[in-house]
Amino acid sequence: MKKETLNRVWIVTFFAIAMGYLEAIVVAYLRALYYPNGFNFPLANLVQSEILLIEWVREFATIVMLVTVAMLAGKKFFERSAYFIFAFAVWDIFYYVFLKVILDWPASLFTWDVLFLIPWPWVGPVITPVLCSLLMIFTAIAVLNLNDKGKKIRTILYDWIIIILGILLVLISWMYDYGKMIFLNNSDSGFVPTHYNWWLFGIGFILAGFGIARFLIRNKK
């Protein structure tokens, strides 16, 4: 990796770590207000109050900030995309690192968490977004290396289909529980997740990884 690229990676890393700390602080405040005895399911009335709209905007603003730093760090589409997924992944991992430092939570990587709230709560064991983040970091670094070597990065439709299908399966594994209740008009006020669809996540993760591997191997030639 070129020195200039490495410097940019470090800058994006520091930015994402700082964002992870900021995110952890916000969550610590919310849990102090809504979960004074410690976070657990069922979800408090946070998801049924005016605070939910504020949380939606905050999450959207977080994505905007990550996109902005990626636009500043990169010049071409694939370069900017690599910086974005790298920043997102580092932010996500260090969010959990700082939650552990501040709140001594999660108890384990298999503890359930609310991963996102747009358009409804995504839930799953902590290890699942962490695994996705590690794959994203690997992908981003590999793409930046290809770019530094002057490779003309190309994609084919088949790779995109595999990757997008894998991503969709992973997203469904997180969004299914609350999505099902919303579409069936069932109340989610007492919902406690107990079963995670590891098969769905695993198939999606492997498909995405396979598509990424095909993409990287072909572009190395």
Sign of the alpha-carbon torsion through 45, 193, 178, 65 = positive
pLDDT tens digits along 81-124: 999 999 999 999 999 999 999 999 999 999 999 999 998 889 99
Confidence of residue 215 (pLDDT cuts 50, 70, 90): very high
Q: Is residue 1 predicted with pLDDT exceeding 90?
A: no
pLDDT tens digits along 155-180: 889 999 999 999 999 999 999 988 88
Question: What is the rounded distance in angstroms from the CA atom of residue 82 to the CA atom of residue 60?
Answer: 19
**This prediction's pTM:** 0.92
State whether residue 125 is helix, strand or coil.
strand
Question: What is the rounded distance in angstroms from the CA atom of residue 143 to the CA atom of residue 181?
Answer: 39
Question: What is the rounded distance in angstroms from the CA atom of residue 219 to the CA atom of residue 216?
Answer: 5
